[in-house]
Amino acid sequence: MILTVLKTLWSCIWVLLKPCLFVLIPFSIVFGIAFYVAYLRKKKSGTAHREVIAHFNPKNDVSIFTKLFVQLPRQFWDNFYNVKVGEFRKHGIVMYCGKQGMGKTLTMTHDILQLKYQYPSLKVGTNYGLNGEDFVIDDWRKLVDVNNGKTGVLCAIDECQNWFSSAMSKNFPPRMLATVTQNRKNKRVIFMTSHFFTNVSKPIRLHCTEVRQCRTFLKCFTVVKRSEPIMNGDGDVIKMRKLGYYCFVHNKELYEAYDTYKVIKNLSEAGFKNDTWAEDNDNTVLQPAKKRLKRQRKQDVERDVMRSMDDCFNLMNSGIDDF
């Protein structure tokens, strides 16, 4: 059936093309002869060559088999032996989350001590007074100004929502954002703790590479769930891709590694302030507009007072006996 239909279609096409062949065949022959004659004349004149203004790279003109079985193994071992032993390879932002008393700070301290043992030249800075820290983070600029070459820098911020809260995303420092996006090149890893992942400002969430959910049992055994946050462009979490679990038992070294009361003192005195400074060509720092902030606070107080007075008059006019 199908063969019969195809034969019928071909017969129809042939009937249409057959009258045209008497014109197309002679035209094609004459057209080809004209091109060939023009080519012979060009070659005879000695100008039959093209000027080369680009370079051909023969290294790219290789087969897929050469790339997979020759170039790839060779380059892999070249990269493997060119990396120095002890070079810091960690990067990104790791967020420790959990309710109060679930061991967020203790887990972060445990991981810091592990990395410090693995990389002795690693510079460590915290805002909660870790024993043996190389520098103290009392301002967000310490996160971007300290460098340590290929041996790496680790910055740890406890209760980071006090510095980088989601309500202050629009005031996130541009210089801080530029550093966060280049943590791998700067050999820098940032550890942070927060009660909830969504409490942190949007720029931090978008560049967070791992979330570690902490849970402590019997007050001395902590289980940590590792996840990778998958987010959309608005910073909303779509899902958490599971990376695995690990656990550890508390010990005296962890308990004595930092002072809990110093954490409370530092966080009560410090905190994220709106970055209203700017730098000109002379690197002159402009101070925040204190008068504008004072005027705003005064307006807020006046508005609250007027609202309270309106409520009192409404109660009096309504004739409520309990007023």
Spell out the per-residue pLDDT of the chain, length 323, in tens: 788 888 888 888 888 877 887 788 888 899 999 999 998 988 888 887 888 787 777 767 788 888 899 999 999 999 988 888 778 888 889 999 999 889 999 999 999 999 999 999 999 999 888 999 999 988 777 777 788 888 889 999 998 887 776 655 555 666 666 666 666 777 889 999 999 888 888 888 888 999 999 999 999 999 999 999 998 877 788 889 999 999 999 999 999 998 776 655 444 444 444 444 434 444 434 344 555 666 666 667 667 766 666 666 666 666 544 44
Strands (E) across the chain are located at 92-97, 123-126, 135-136, 153-157, 188-194, 208-217, 221-231, 237-249
Nearest to 233 by CA among 209, 206, 198, 207: 206
DSSP per-residue string spanning 168-181:
GGGG--HHHHHHHT
pLDDT at res. 270: 45
pLDDT at res. 25: 85
pLDDT at res. 287: 44
pLDDT at res. 148: 85
Backbone angles phi, psi at 242, to 5 degrees: -70, 135
Residue 254: how many other CB atoms lie within 10 Å:
19
pLDDT at res. 205: 85
Nearest to 90 by CA among 148, 129, 176: 148
